[in-house]
Amino acid sequence: MKIGFFGGTFDPIHIGHIHLALQMLEIHHLDQVVFCPASVSPYKQGSPPQVAAKHRQKMVELAIHPIELFSFCEWEITRPGPSFTIDTLKGLSDQTKAEKKEIHWHLILGEDALVDFASWKDVEELVALAPPLIGSRLIPSFLPPFPSSIKEIIERGMTKIQMLDISSTYLRKRLLEGKYCGHLLAHNVLDYIQHHQLYLPR
pLDDT tens-digit readout, 26-57 = 999 999 999 999 988 776 666 789 999 999 99
Please check whether residue 76 lies inside any domain of the structure.
yes
Please check whether residue 181 lies inside any domain of the structure.
no
Within 8 A by CB and 6+ apart from 149, the residues are 124
132: left (phi over 0), alpha (psi -120 to 50) or beta: beta
Domain assignment of residue 64, given as a range: 2-166
Q: How far is the C-alpha of 156 from the C-alpha of 146, rounded, in Å?
A: 13
The pLDDT, as a whole number, for residue 18 is 98
Please check whether residue 127 lies inside any domain of the structure.
yes
The pLDDT, as a whole number, for residue 25 is 98
Q: pTM for the whole thing? A: 0.94
pLDDT (average), residues 172-177: 96
Asked if 65 and 187 touch (Cβ cutoff 8 Å), the reply is: no
Average of per-residue pLDDT values in the chain: 93
Instruction: Please report, as a single letter, which amino acid is at residue 100.
Output: K
The pLDDT, as a whole number, for residue 48 is 83
Q: Which of 151, 198, 92, 160 is nearest to 84 (CA)?
A: 92
* Beta-carbon count within 10 A of 123 CB: 19
Domains in the chain: how many in total? 1
Higher pLDDT, 18 or 200: 18
Residue 142 has pLDDT above 70, yes or no: no
Kindly report the CATH number assigned to the domain that includes residue 68: 3.40.50.620
